Chains A and B, each alone.
Chain A
């Protein structure tokens, strides 16, 4: 039996561009699929096809047990969509926005009103409920947008880059909301270009590039494809590189890679933190001064690189800055000084 979201061979072309080139997906009920890929990979187009916004040229899509192409309006009753750009009316208040969406989901006026009040409370927007959304911060708008997608508590949710452009604090807040939602049994398809985000929220990840799913699996399975852990050492003095190399050879499970200009040595290992401590002791015993040392697990960045041959780099400036921010924090987390 197909899952709550199922797609088979979705193809969509825009002129010469083959935006989707045969996308297959199967998301079991109550789970989260992270659709991961760079800008232009086809993530948004996939979401648009699955949410009835775009008609694929060919292929099959089933959402909440309903064929998307044959019963679009029934599908719309069962889904919530939260877009890449916070789609709320900025001149309406938060409350008016949610009531309007409720009415358009065909709720009765009274029920829409009650539900709006509930959601405003739940999303920590009650204080700002009667202010135009124009006055909201970026994080508040995203929360309002997400609340609008949840008005009828739909069994299937789609979120297209829910945290793009948010600062780390707001991103964390939104992640908490999403986790809470999923623990209630909602099936979620989430697109992201933040590898950390997919790692954090998704049960399963589908990596998309050039309109195709090029790999899928759990975060661990994908990481395993890229190989195991590595130790990275940056020595202070260029002259110590060869000695350090000798030390690492004794601990490593393969060849040591050396980058002369950054004085960085990388060696695959098994044995984790304990081994790292031993390496540090040995380097210290030989009088090698080190600037940095860390145990590096493969990240989804590495996965992406090994799968596609190119980095999952955001193309526009804003996303680029955010991407760098994510990378910095990752290194912070994984480097043991």
Chain B
């Protein structure tokens, strides 16, 4: 019993925020160690977006007419990259979901819930670790993008801000993954449950083709899609919108940076609240 009260051994109670941060970092560290022990997960996570970059650039490149840039492959490549980047960060959802479902399945969540730790820390730690992985993936992806001819035309600060928005979007989406992971019975279900809805979400958007050629009801969805806001914001911040590209007449497309921030923060707040609540009552 002495171990519990010994002040030399136990962290001072501090405030809830300090403890929460400390516990989250302990869990994040654990998840990062796991990534280094299962490098194939990180590698497969990289191969997919790289494949997308290469396939879309070379297969679709010559056939897609980007207004303002015309029908040419290099114009499409510049237009495309923000879309691939954004799709890649949202795919982190599946990783977070599978990881948390696996922890539930293996009884680790029970272990954590029986410890005197901050309530949200297991999920926060996991999302922090996913953020590290997402950042790493983005770096590699940006290098590949440059290799196939992607260039930015704005100052460094704006480009960084664009990547910041991407990371924020990915972080917000990993909380959706966390909620899915807590809600399904097996890690496999979390993987597919984390992925299937991402396809319509990312395709009914401006990510791969301009929305203006879609049927009008899809155009509306695409223009208000949270995903489109970030893509549009990144294109703006990277200088990848061709001169003369017609900006759709929807608020998020007119003010993409603000729209991206608002959407991401909204998703983050809503899904973090739901996931933490779910965690507290989680029954394995």
Other-chain residue from A79, A88, A96 in contact with B114 (beta carbon distance below 8 A): A79
Q: At the interface, yes or no: B200 with Cβ under 8 Å from chain A? A: no
Taking CB atoms, residues of chain A closer than 8 Å to B107 are 83-87
B19 and A106 within 8 A (CB): yes
Residues of B within 8 A of A88 (CB): 108, 111
* Contact between A106 and B116, CB atoms less than 8 A apart: yes
Select A76's contact among B22, B30, B108, B116, beta carbons within 8 Å.
B116
Checking B2, B34, B38, B112 against A104 with a beta-carbon cut-off of 8 angstroms, the contacting residue is B112
The residues of B that contact A132 with a CB separation of less than 8 Å are 37
Q: Which residues of chain A are within 8 angstroms of B9 by Cβ–Cβ distance?
A: 107-108, 111, 115
Chain B residue with the shortest CB-CB distance to A80: B114
Are B10 and A54 neighbours in the complex by a CB distance under 8 Å?
Answer: no
- Asked if A298 is at the interface (CB within 8 A of a chain B CB), the reply is no
Point out the residues of chain A lying under 8 angstroms from B17, CB to CB: none
Q: Is the CB of A87 within 8 A of B106?
A: yes
- Tell me if B's interface is mostly helix, strand, loop or mixed: helix
**CB under 8 Å from chain B, chain A span 81-119:** 81, 83-92, 96, 100-101, 103-108, 111, 115
Given the contacts A77-B116, A81-B114, A104-B26, A87 and B11 also touching, CB distance less than 8 Å: no
Known A91-B33, A92-B30, A154-B4: A107·B11 in contact at CB below 8 Å = yes
State whether B111 touches A155 (Cβ < 8 A): no
Known: A87-B108, A100-B26, A111-B9. A53 touches B37 (CB 8 A): no
The residue from A83, A96, A108, A154 contacting B11, defined by CB atoms under 8 A apart: A108
Bound CA span A211–B263, Å: 48
Enumerate chain A residues within 8 angstroms of B281, measured Cβ to Cβ: 55
What is the 8 Å Cβ interface bit string for chain B, positions 104-135, against chain A (1 contact, 0 not)? 00111011111111000000000000000000
Set A48, A96, A101: member contacting B33, Cβ < 8 A = A96
Asked if B78 CB lies within 8 Å of chain A CBs, one says no
Choose one: B3, B11, B26, B37; the contact of A91 (CB below 8 Å): B37
Q: Which residue of A lies closest to B111 (CB)?
A: A87
Number of residues of chain A lying within 8 A (CB) of chain B = 40
Q: Collect the chain B residues with CB atoms within 8 Å of residue A91's CB.
A: 33-34, 37-38
In the complex, A73 has a CB within 8 A of chain B: yes
How many whole Å from B114's CB to the nearest CB in chain A?
4
CB neighbours (8 Å) of B6 from chain A are 111
Within 8 A of A (CB), among B1-51: 1-4, 6, 8-11, 19, 22-23, 26, 29-30, 33-34, 37-38
A85–B8 Cα distance when bound, in Å, is: 33
Q: Is B283 an interface residue (CB 8 A)?
A: yes
Residues in A whose Cβ lies below 8 Å from that of B23: 103-104
The answer to whether A46 has its CB under 8 Å from any CB of chain B is: no
Specify the chain A residue showing the minimal Cβ separation from B121: A104
Contacting A at CB under 8 A, from B131-148, are none
| Least distance between A9 CB and chain B CB atoms (Å) | 21
CA distance in complex: A154, B1 (Å): 6
Q: With A108-B10, A108-B11 as known contacts, state yes or no: A81 contacts B33, CB within 8 Å.
A: no
**A/B interface sample: 13 pairs, CB < 8 A:** A48-B110, A54-B283, A73-B116, A78-B4, A83-B107, A85-B107, A101-B115, A104-B116, A105-B117, A106-B10, A107-B10, A153-B4, A155-B1
The 6 closest A-B pairs by CB, nearest first: A111-B9, A87-B107, A76-B116, A87-B111, A85-B107, A81-B114
